[in-house]
Amino acid sequence: MRRLGLLAASAFFAATLPGAAQAQIGSARYAAVVIEPGTGQVLFGANADAPRHPASLTKMMTLYMVFEALRSGELQLDQRLYMTETAASRPPSKLGLPPGRSLTVENAIYALVTKSANDVASLLGETLGGGSEARFAQMMTLRARAIGMTSTTFRNASGLPDVEQITTAHDMATLGRRLQRDFPERYHYFGTRVHRMGTIALRNHNRMLDEYEGVDGIKTGYINASGFNIVSSARRDNVRLIVAVFGGSSWVERDRHAAALLERGFAQMGVGGGYGAMASQSAPAASLAMAAVGGTAAATALRRVRGTAQARAMPGRGVAGRVVPSRVAPARAVPARAATAAVARRATPAPTQKAAARVARQSAPARSAGRLSVARRATATVIEQGDGGSRVRATPERRPARRNPARPAR
């Protein structure tokens, strides 16, 4: 019966998700896969084996190596790690410990899971790599190949930009599965919402933990080259699914698309849907995203969603309205942004225009920085921010203002 259920799920995804498969704005960075972790069965995939940049999903592999070291006795949870100058120099997202300060291995685990701290990831890499993060990255790659991640190469422990650091959606879903299967006693770390270190509260970047019922991990990631990535695992009743989504234009779009795929997977596996605010919004969000890539077919599917369903998909409530066939077929393919904006204007009643505009702003790609001086532009870099949500420029410190020598100092 379980095998029949998996076969039925595969058929369901193949038949009903061609649009959703392209839903992530149709960019060249998009990839997605849904697997049943008990067997490793792939239920659905789009560009699942295409090379992608993992961003902070890399830290999942770093933690896999840490968990192995804990099991072998190479590390202890209460062991103290001392921040090095090299690790402390890593750009944000970071814990910000100065060189010489220390933290325990367990706090380091929490820092990776919640804060997605690049400095701590580098420190762990140096610790397990005999003082060399590059050597640790080689160890990560070899171990990844051994557990079935055949298309993954790591170059650092954090996921900070490196053109040679690549993976696939399928490989990362496989890693999520192996973390659950190989270290069930450690998997609870990925469900941490807030971890306190003294007076510091580290909040998890994974918003799906609160917005989609049943999600208990795993990790988010973002760099400019990858877009917004996520590997998420959810459990309902006795059914668990893992979804990996790469290349989102925002964390909102990425999370809603992942929720849509999970929702349909659970429905086909015979588990009830409609869990949480994100689940109620996921179907309209996925349909809107189709317009970005699907041309005529996608625009037709988009018009099948009633305006009432779009307008009433409020947090904490179900989606009101029904899906009805469209009476108007599009005459031609419409550019992605124009199609989405036009349909949103027609579908949304006047009282919700502000809310619709806010969602559109959240789902829009992050804008690049404005014009900078030559000196500041030369040092401006878009850097890792865990799951993103914002861009940060690393710029030189401002020069102190010139003081008028004729004016006495106060």
* Overall pTM surpassing 0.95 (yes/no): no
- Asked if residues 207 and 389 have their Cβ atoms less than 8 Å apart, the reply is no
The neighbour count for residue 165, using CB atoms within 10 Å, is 23
Q: Which candidate in 93, 94, 115, 116 is catalytic?
A: 116
Among this protein's residues, is 368 annotated catalytic?
no
Decide: 143 and 157 in contact? Cβ < 8 Å: no
**CB neighbour list of residue 5: distance below 8 Å, 6 or more residues apart:** 269, 270
The verdict on whether 373 is a catalytic residue reads no
- Consult the annotation and say whether 219 binds a ligand: yes
What's the pLDDT at 376? Answer: 36
**Contact call for residues 341 and 292 (beta carbons, < 8 A):** no
Give CATH for domain 2-75+124-273.
Answer: 3.40.710.10
3-state secondary structure of 45: strand
Q: Would you state the pLDDT for residue 265?
A: 84
**Per-residue pLDDT at 297:** 30
DSSP string for 74-128: SS-TT-EEE--HHHHTSPSS---PPTT-EEEHHHHHHIIIII--HHHHHHHHHHH
Please provide residue 308's backbone torsions phi and psi, each rounded to the nearest 5 degrees. Answer: -65, -35
59 is catalytic: yes
Domain with CATH 3.40.710.10 in the chain: 2-75+124-273
| Whole-number pLDDT of residue 150 | 96
Distance CA(167)–CA(154), nearest Å, equals: 8
Instruction: Give Cα 140 to chain centroid, integer Å.
Output: 21
Angle between helices 58-72 and 118-128 (to 10 degrees): 40
Run means of pLDDT, 10 residues per run, the chain, 410 residues: 47 41 61 94 92 98 99 98 98 95 98 97 98 98 98 98 97 98 97 92 94 93 95 94 95 93 86 58 42 31 33 34 34 44 42 50 42 37 46 42 54
